Each structure stands twice: as C-alpha cells, then as structure tokens.
Amino acid sequence: MNLAEGVQFVSFGILAATTIAAALGVVLLENIVYSAFLLGGVFISIAGMYLLLNADFVAAAQVLVYVGAINVLILFAIMLVNKTEVFQPMKNAWFRKGATALVCVGLFALLATMVRSTSWAVLDSVAPIESTAIRLGEHFFSDFLLPFELASVLLLISMIGAIVLARREFVPEETDAQREVVFRLPERPREPVGAIGESSSASENS
Amino acid sequence: MELQLQYYLLLAAALFCIGIYGLITSRNAIRVLMSIELLLNAVNLNLMAFSNYLDEAAKGQVFSVFVITIAAAEAAVGLAIVLAIYRNRDTIDMERFNLLKW
C-alpha cells in the first residue's frame, strides 16, 4: 500500500464513521434541532465521499444544495413549527420499534450478502475524468437534454406549489377600532413645546 | 488493500437502513422528512460509486445531479405541506394525521 492509497483508506474510514454516527444521531436523538445539525454533518461527509470518488462538481453541488438550501430550509421549518410537543405514548410502541429494527437489520444483511456475493465487473484501470464539469455539461446538453429541461420545469412548479401551500389563506378582518389601536404608537402623551420650556426654565430658576 | 466498490455499497446500504428505520418509527413530521433525505443520499452514494467504478461516461453523476434536484423540490413541497397541516391540526405528530382514515 503506497501513501496515496493509505490516505484514501483512512479518509474513507473517518468519513464512513462520521456518516453512520451522524445518521444514527439524526434518527435517534430526542431534540430535533440536534438532529437537523447532524443531518448537515451527514451531508458534508457524503460530499467528502464524492471527492474520494473523483466527482468534484457533484461534491460542490451537494454542499451547496443540501447543506446550503435543504438543511437551512429544515431549520426554518423547525423554527416555524416551534412547538415542544409531548407525544402521547402509544400502545405497543416498543413492538413497533423492535419490528422495524428487525426488518431494517434484515434488509441490511440481505444487501450486504448481495454486495459481497456479486462479482462486480469493475473496470481494470480506473482513470479519473479530467474535468467532470465539462463532461456533465456535455451530457446535460446532448443525451440528457429532455430530463434537464423537465427538471427545471419541475423546480418552477415545486416553487409555486410550496408558496401556494405555505401561504396563509385566512386574513383576519380588521375593524376601524382595531385599526386605530394598531396605528397608535405606545408612547407618552405629548406636551406642548412651550409648556416643556416653561417647566424646565421654572425648574432651573428654582 | 485498496478502496473497493463493495465498501461504498455497504456504507450506502447501512445509511439506507437507518433512513428506513427513522422513516417508520419517528413521530415528528420534520424528522420523517429528514429520514427521506437520508434515503436519497444513500441512493446517490450508490450511483456515484457505480459511476466511478463501472462506467467511463460519468452517467451516474448525471443521475445523482437529477436526484439532488428532485430532493430540493421534494423538501420544499414537503415542508410546506407540514406547515399547512400544522396550521390546520395544531400538531406535528404523525399518529394524529389521520384525516383520511375512516
């Protein structure tokens, strides 16, 4: 093992451990704000994985879109739904969790045996692509042009849909009395300027 | 001792299983959305690993860029739906979102 492979292996180990630990924290921690920040940790370590896989453009996109947009969006949603709610305990909650954990461990065992027993047709010489951004641009504008345009339309649709869904439909009607109350600033009643001058001069004289 | 495709696939499988566990067991609606993001990331990791080890044309990276796009749209609409339900029902407990149950 030369130096480059050793560095790759160690960094893969660190990133994998961080990913799994942070993902477990996202799922298992009680406080949801901690979960949201740990989710950012998962995204960043997966971006590191992409760098190990010779994909710099997608790593940058992962950091920009996931950490910069989706994670911040989730934090905003947590702040908007600011409710410390004590969930009512359910019957047989332990049974549900146990059964789910069993199914998940079984699924992982199935996938692991499949991964280990399949003989993957790995290319002999893994030559990293020189410039992934140029390669991705060629793909986007030649053979993936229709999905690319559809994705842009989908983004527009989802933006409009999110605005329509999250907008407050009910605008409370206000009466004239309320409007007067609203527009009055809470401050001391004004005194005429001359009165203030007289009172101050009177106090100075006395 | 070189980095192999199997390691990435095993890591993605573990991440996927953690995501499914969180998706099913969590009662906070926002945590359910976070679990969906974990699932999408696991699939993305699979796509990138296959793209690096099995394909010279980098099509897996194109797919993962599309998945990232869809994930952004899904997060926006999902959080808007959670917000609308929270305004209607005044709760974010998944067990009490039973409007369609009869």
Is the pLDDT assigned to residue A188 strictly greater than 70?
no
Q: Do A70 and B38 touch (CB under 8 A)?
A: no
Side chain identity at A83, as an amino acid letter?
K
- pLDDT band at B14, cuts 50/70/90? very high
Q: Do A139 and B59 touch (CB under 8 A)?
A: yes
What is d(CA A39, CA A19) in angstroms, rounded to the nearest whole number?
Answer: 9
Highest mean pLDDT, choosing among A4-8, A24-28, A192-196? A24-28
B41 CA: distance to closest CA in chain A (Å): 8
Interface confidence, given as ipTM, is 0.93
Q: Do B62 and A144 touch (CB under 8 A)?
A: yes
**Are the beta carbons of A80 and B83 closer than 8 angstroms?**
yes
Q: Do A139 and B57 touch (CB under 8 A)?
A: yes
Q: What is the DSSP string of B18-29?
A: HHHHHHHH--BH
Number of cross-chain residue pairs from A and B with Cβ atoms under 8 Å apart? 229
Q: Does B88 touch chain A (CB under 8 A)?
A: no
Count the neighbouring beta carbons within 10 Å of the beta carbon of residue A114: 11
Q: Which of A92, A99, A66, A77 is nearest to A162 (CA)?
A: A77
What is d(CA A29, CA B9) in angstroms, rounded to the nearest whole number?
Answer: 26
Give the mean model confidence (pLDDT) for residues A183-190: 60
Q: What is the pTM of this model?
A: 0.83
The answer for B 4-43 residues in CB contact with A (under 8 A) is 4-11, 13-22, 24-28, 30-31, 33-35, 37-38, 41
Side chain identity at A192, as an amino acid letter?
P
What is d(CA A13, CA B18) in angstroms, rounded to the nearest whole number?
Answer: 18
CA dist list (Å): A45 to A22, A66, B51, B90: 9, 12, 19, 35
List of chain B residues whose C-beta atoms are within 8 Å of the C-beta of residue A58: 48, 61, 64-65, 68
| Length of chain B measured in residues | 102
Helix B59-89 / helix A145-166 crossing angle, nearest 10 deg: 10
More confident residue, B92 or A186: B92
**Are the beta carbons of B43 and A152 closer than 8 angstroms?**
no
**Are the beta carbons of B69 and A58 closer than 8 angstroms?**
no
Per-residue pLDDT tens for A8-41? 999 999 999 999 999 999 999 989 999 999 999 9
**Are the beta carbons of B47 and B63 closer than 8 angstroms?**
yes
**Are the beta carbons of A71 and A39 closer than 8 angstroms?**
yes
| Length of chain A measured in residues | 206
Q: Does B98 touch chain A (CB under 8 A)?
A: no
Is the pLDDT assigned to residue A63 strictly greater than 80?
yes
